[in-house]
Structure 1
Amino acid sequence: MAGVSRCMKYSMFIFNFFFWVCGCIILGFSIWIRVSSTQQGVESSALAGVNLLIAVGAIIMILGFLGCCGAAKESRCMLMLFFIALLLILILQITGGILGAVYKPQVEEAFKLTLNASVSALQSTSEEYREYQEAFQKFEREEKCCGLVDGPKDWGAKFNEPSSNICKCEVEKPSPDLCIQYQNRYIYKKPCGEVIVQQIKDNLVIIMGIAFGLAVVEILGLVFSMSLYCQIGRK
Structure 2
Amino acid sequence: MAGVSKCMKYSMFIFNFFFWVCGCIILGASIWIRFKGTQQEVESGVSAGANLLIAVGAIIMVIGFLGCCGAAKESRCMLMLFFIALLLILILQITGGVLGAVYKPQVEEAFALTLNASLNVLQDTSGKYEVSQEAFQKFEREEKCCGLRDGPKDWGENFNKPSLKICQCELEKPSPDLCVQYQNGYIYKKSCGEVIIQQIKDNLVIIMGIAFGLAVVEILGLVFSMSLYCQIGRK
Shorter chain as denominator, the TM-score bin is 0.7 to 0.9
How many residue pairs get matched?
Answer: 221
Is the 1:4–1:232 Cα contact (8 Å) retained in structure 2?
yes
| SS of the residue 1:181 aligns to | strand
Q: How much does 1:9 deviate? A: 0.6
Cα offsets for 1:4-61 (capped at 9, x unmatched): 1101112212333454577689989x99xxxxxxxxxxx95xx989976774465234
TM-score by length of 2: 0.83
Code of the residue aligned with 2:208 in structure 1: it is M
CA distance in 2, matches of 1:79, 1:105: 41
Q: Deviations over 1:188-233 (max 9, x none)?
A: 1111111111122222211111111111111111110011111112
Residues 1:191 and 1:54: Cα distance change in structure 2 (over 3 Å) = farther
Could you state the TM-score of these two structures normalised by the residue count of structure 1? 0.83
CA distance in 2, matches of 1:84, 1:49: 26
Q: Give the Cα–Cα distance (whole angstroms) in 1 for the partners of residues 49 and 208 of structure 2.
A: 12
By how many angstroms is 1:120 displaced? 1.6
Q: Give the letter for the 1:141 counterpart.
A: R
1:220 counterpart = 2:220: yes
Q: Aligned residue for 1:102?
A: 102
**1:82 Cα shift?**
0.3
> Aligned-pair RMSD on alpha carbons?
2.9
Tell me the distance in 1 between the aligned counterparts of 2:185 and 2:25. 45
Q: Which residue type is aligned with residue 81 of structure 2?
A: L
1:96 is displaced (CA, Å) by 1.1
In the alignment, residue 97 of structure 1 is paired with which amino acid?
Answer: G
Which residue of structure 2 aligns with residue 124 of structure 1? Answer: 124
Question: Which whole-Å CA distance do the structure 1 matches of 2:146 and 2:233 have between them?
Answer: 65
Distance in structure 2 (CA, Å) of the matches to 1:27 and 1:215:
22
Amino acid at match of 1:216: V
Q: How does 1:80-229 map to 2 (within 5 A)?
A: 80-229=80-229
Q: Is the 8 A contact 1:19 1:217 kept in 2?
A: no
Alignment match, 1:37: none
Q: Secondary structure at the match of 1:4?
A: coil
Deviations 1:147-195 (Å, cap 9, x if unpaired)? 1101111001111123331111112221111111111111111111111
Please name the residue that 1:66 is paired with: 66
